[in-house]
Structure 1
Amino acid sequence: MSSSPLTDQPDGEALPQICDVLIIGGGPAGSTAATLLAERGRHVVMLEKETHPRFHIGESLLPNNLSIIQRLGVLEEVRAIGVYKPGAQFVSDEHGQDVAFEFKNGLDKRWTYSFHVERAAFDKLLFDNARAKGAMALEAMRVTTVELAQGSARSTVKAVDGTGKQHVFAPRFVIDASGRDACLATRLKIKEVNRQNNTAALFGHLKGVEPLTQPDVGNIVVHLLKEGWCWAIPLPNGVTSIGIVSNAAFFNRRTGSQEDFFWEVLRASPSMGPRIANATLLEPVRATGNYSYKARSMVGENHILVGDAFAFIDPVFSSGVMLAMTSAERGALAVHAHLDDPQKAKPLFAQFERHVQGAMGAFSWLIYRINKPVLRDMFMAPRNQFGMRDGLVSLLAGSWNHGVRSRVPVLAFKGAYYFLQTAYRMGYRVRRDVGMTKRAEIEGPNWRNAA
């Protein structure tokens, strides 16, 4: 849906632009919501503070992303810019082995692969698609003020463009898709750091990284380090995205530069060190802290929070873009219904919130335990009793909610974890051949002090 350019009132104040929905943020979540609402005839304005293409981390998509990408009409375009991803591979320095989980072995057979993408190209593709489908997609537009209205009144959103000029919008509904800026959560003072998983990361793009196996496999590789983990994602043109994730105390040990510490940690890993022996950085190492957070609510009377604007959890299972796009999809459908009848839309908003909270809970359970010896042993010795391994593969693929068929394997996996956790406390640990042995035989007589 086209719209006339913004104009000024005689006194110099920007004339409010009337619209149905104002979306803060032009990343995957914002572009998904904008496309779906514009296709349904809604007047949508999407404001992106930067100009595409721009750098962003989070380059590994999950199979569950592809059904949404197909609905947006850009699956073949994503295929053209992506690196084929058949699964995920976990490498443990402690165990001295690696295990691959192929998506084709999951419970959901609709999508058995995915892609790695450079986010600059991927995000621009989605943003341009939203514009092509009728959304007013504006770049270099930084939101400065949000005044949320009640009832049938319109909210007020003010933004400043690249020249410093102010623009004013009067939407019936506001969708916050501002990512880790968490625009509304910050303004409403409902953003809370996740104390259970308060991690940080160092990351960069490298050339010359040796593949773990054959160059054409395409798996994301998760290296389980002594005090955290790191990702290695193959991107187009021989580029590899590598990031180190650990707690703040680990990074506070750094005495030199970020780049020196980045190389030091990678070289110290028996599995990663050989892979980066001849690699070079393409750009300065980047850092981010306070990785995990969550807003206390995600639905208001005339606004919702989607994707990272609501919450962000550790990226070990590449869930960020998938959660952003699925939450935006469900949220957009609820918003569309709300614009016609707020009362009838209430069940849809409730379903939207339950789905997002459920998905985050499913991923969080694994994420909170990724550094636990119990879970690492289970990853390195996967068993398929009660479909546990296949259920785990489905979760890694982003398919977590398929009724009893998926709940039973996940519950079996959790039950095995808690059983083994009890055994570990009694002094036993899983051997690589999936038997049990005294932990002292593996870790020495002081294992209790190190537990």
Structure 2
Amino acid sequence: MEGAAKSSASGSCVIGRGWLWPENHLSCNIGVNPSVVVLESDLMNQQGDTQSVDADVLVIGGGPAGSTVAALLAKKGWRVMLFDKDQHPRFHIGESLLPQNVPLLDRLGVLEQVEACSMVKYGIEFVSPFHGKKVQYEFAKAWGRRFPHAFQVRRSSFDHILLQNASKSGTQVYESCQVKSVELHSGMFPEVITEDVDGRQHHWTAKYIVDATGRDTFLASKFGAKKPNQRNKSAAIFAHFSGAQRLPGKAEGHITIVWFAEGWFWFIPLADGITSVGAVCSPEFLKTRKTDLTSFFYSIIAMSPEISSRLQDATMVGKVSATGNYSYTSSMASGSNYLMVGDATGFIDPVFSTGVYLAMRGGFSAAETIDTCLRHPERSKAAMRRYEASIRHAMGAFTWFIYRIRQPAMRNLFMSPRNTLRMEEAVLFLLAGGVSGGWQVSLRLYLFRAIYYATKFSHFLRGVHKTSASPG
């Protein structure tokens, strides 16, 4: 059937709630148990060839990045389809948001929903056994003081809210439906094959593909563009606990970063009384495990008096999970009829809770880019270049700090807060998600870097002095 979504067998994927497209763009035949979803799409002409399409934009992945870009494009009137391999709500790690997430949630129209099920996060606590003290920073003291708080969220609930919002905005959402292949032919629209839970395959065409598959990195893996980050080899082991000891008062929702001999811990309190606790260390250290995963995690917790104390009366809820070397990047993020967004473009480290923020920020940028490409094809190449530059800039704003967070010189600076020349305000602005703060913020961040290198050099000189002074 020309102009229709084609199925290789009867049956269909789980269908979301979003048939809000204009009647002149499609009709939908859905029975009680639909075997085929029929889309009578408009015929488009691309490089002289007439080809039917099932959607303007097909999004792969229903996490924060995919749901954001889908909702925004659907609201602009484009026909959007979203496929997610999971059925929501589903578990996902990465529960801590940044203050700059708040205005994005507001623009999506979901701020009140997220706030109702979240723990308010006013700041960050750093705990260093190497310094024997704890330090707290509040976002309200960041440069500009515009966004004084963020949220700690259950990702199952948070991601579900965003996905439902995409559906309500007009996106056709397919859950429990996995994309098996994407074919990108020169002079033709992309072709996608999906598979539902019953193993039935379906064929689709779209003008643009958005890869929002997170760590699965569907397109980057297909193109061989995914590369491990050699500067930040990290692995993580984590679990949820009930009854963990939290900070008192307003600081209850702070994320706590605790350094220990093999890396650092996160301690993230959630609104329902559960606390997410994880240890980030080298992949080589995780490979030393000789016991079951739970026992190994408890042995790592025992290496930190601070975390051990906070969990002494706590009970583990669910199972322990671990992930291998998760730090990677993609050498490409866009093409003539596709782009990647969120973790599909790369992931560095969770230490500053940047994952969800970069995913949503990228979703806004991706939606603007595709909207430009669809409305003004002659501007497509320039729009894609701007998109790549935008996401590289956002990720790069954090990488310098992330690469050095385990260095003694960086620990010294974070554990000895001083707002000299307002440098502390500038750093807090960045840690709140402020990747573009203007020249005044940038200048102070460069000054902070200079102080870091001076501190590191002084450590080197002390080491040389101790070596030369030792007997023999």
TM-score by length of 1: 0.91
1:412 maps to a residue whose letter is: L
Match of 1:435 in 2: none
2:299 to 248, 255, 264: 264
| Matched position secondary structure for 1:291 | coil
Match of 2:455 in 1: 420
* Matched residue, 1:431: none
* Selected match of 1:181 from 216, 224, 232: 216
Q: Decide whether aligned partners of structure 1 residues 110 and 216 sit closer, same or farther in structure 2, where only a CA change above 3 A counts.
A: closer
Correspondence for 2:92: 56
Aligned to 1:295: 330
The 4+ residue runs of structure 1 with deviation greater than 6 A are none
SS at match of 1:427: helix
Name 1:284's counterpart in structure 2. 319
Give yes or no for the alignment of 1:397 onto 2:406.
no
Are positions 1:143 and 2:145 aligned together? no
Residue by residue, what CA displacement relative to the aligned partner does 1:69-113 show, whole Å, maximum 9, x if unpaired?
111000001100110000111111111111111111111432110
Question: Counterpart of 2:265?
Answer: 230
The answer as to 2:374 corresponding to 1:351 is no
Q: How far, CA to CA, are the matches of 1:9 and 1:409 in structure 2?
A: 56
Amino acid at match of 1:344: R
Residues 386 and 408 in structure 1, CA contact (< 8 A), matched pair in contact too: no
**400-409 or 186-195: bigger deviation:** 400-409
1:403, CA displacement in angstroms?
A: 1.2
Residue 98 of structure 1 aligns with an amino acid whose one-letter code is K
- Within a 5 Å distance, the mapping from 1:98-137 to structure 2 comes to 98-137=134-173
Q: Is the 8 A contact 2:68 2:166 kept in 1?
A: yes
AA of the residue aligned to 2:145: K
Task: Tell me the distance in 2 between the aligned counterparts of 1:348 and 1:85.
Answer: 35
CA offsets, 1:198-234, max 9 Å, x none? 1110011101111144475310011111220010000
Secondary structure in structure 2 of the residue aligned to 1:171:
strand
SS at 2:305 equivalent: coil
Residue 380 in structure 1 maps to residue 376 in structure 2: no
CA deviation after TM superposition for structure 1 residue 343, in Å: 2.5
Q: Is the 8 A contact 1:108 1:399 kept in 2?
A: no
Letter in 2 for 1:422: F
User: 1:266-325 CA distances to partner (integer Å, 9 max, x unpaired)?
Assistant: 122121111111111111100111210001010111100100011011100000000001
Distance 1:210 1:337 in 2: 50
Selected match of 1:304 from 330, 339, 342:
339
Residue matched to 1:316: 351
Q: Which moved more, 1:292-301 or 1:345-354?
A: 345-354
Matches within 5 A, 1:162-181: 162-181=197-216
Q: Secondary structure at the match of 1:281?
A: strand
Report the CA distance between 1:164 and its aligned residue: 1.4
Contact (CA 8 Å) 2:269, 2:275: kept in 1 or not? yes
Return the letter of the residue paired with 1:46. L
For residue 407 of structure 1, report the CA deviation from its aligned partner.
Answer: 0.2
TM-score (norm 2): 0.87
The answer to whether the 8 Å contact 1:173/1:303 transfers is yes
Q: How much does 1:340 deviate?
A: 1.8
CA distance in 2, matches of 1:232, 1:212: 11
User: Is the CA contact (8 Å cut-off) linking 2:252 and 2:269 kept in structure 1?
Assistant: no
Q: Structure 2: which 5+ residue stretches go unaligned?
A: 1-19, 39-51
Deviations along 1:236-264, whole A, 9 cap, x unmatched? 22100001000011112222111111111
Equivalent position of 1:44 in the other structure: 80
Farther off after superposition, 351-360 or 35-44: 351-360
In structure 2, the residue corresponding to 1:283 is in which secondary structure? Answer: strand
Partner secondary structure for residue 99 of structure 1: strand
C-alpha separation between the residues in 1 aligned to 2:282 and 2:311?
Answer: 23
User: Structure 1 CA distance, aligned partners of 2:94 and 2:369?
Assistant: 27
Separation in 1, partners of 2:423, 2:207: 46
**Structure 1: gaps (5+ residues):** 11-15, 429-437, 447-451
- For residues 65 and 333 of structure 1, the distance between their equivalents in structure 2, rounded to whole angstroms, comes to 18
Q: Select 1:219's aligned residue among 254, 272, 275.
A: 254
Residue 64 of structure 2 is aligned to residue 28 of structure 1: yes
Q: Which moved more, 1:99-108 or 1:175-184?
A: 99-108
Match of 2:277 among 222, 238, 242: 242
Cα pair distance change 1:215/1:261, threshold 3 Å: farther
Contact residue 121 and residue 253 of structure 2 kept, 8 A: yes
Aligned mates of 1:9, 1:271 — CA distance in 2: 55
Q: Report how far residue 346 of structure 1 moved.
A: 3.1
CA contact (8 A) 1:267 1:274 kept: no
How many Å separate the matches in 2 of 1:410 and 1:147?
44
Contact 1:93–1:226 (CA under 8 A) maintained in structure 2: no
**Any conservation in 2 of the 1:220–1:231 contact (CA below 8 Å)?**
yes
Secondary structure in 1 matching 2:334: coil
Q: Could you say which residue in structure 1 is the equivalent of 2:45?
A: none
Q: Equivalent of 2:400, from 365, 372, 387?
A: 365
Counterparts in 2 of 1:314 and 1:358: CA distance versus 1, 3 Å: same
RMSD: 2.0
Among residues 123, 128, 144, which one is paired with 1:87 in the alignment? 123
Task: Tell me the secondary structure at the aligned position of residue 401 of structure 1.
Answer: coil
SS of the residue 2:325 aligns to: coil
Task: Please say if residues 94 and 226 of structure 1, whose CA atoms lie closer than 8 Å, have aligned partners that are also in contact.
Answer: no
Cα distance in 2 for residues equivalent to 1:9 and 1:256: 50
Deviation at 1:168, TM superposition (A): 1.2
Amino acid at match of 1:257: D
What is the number of equivalent residue pairs in this alignment?
429
Shift of 1:342: 2.5
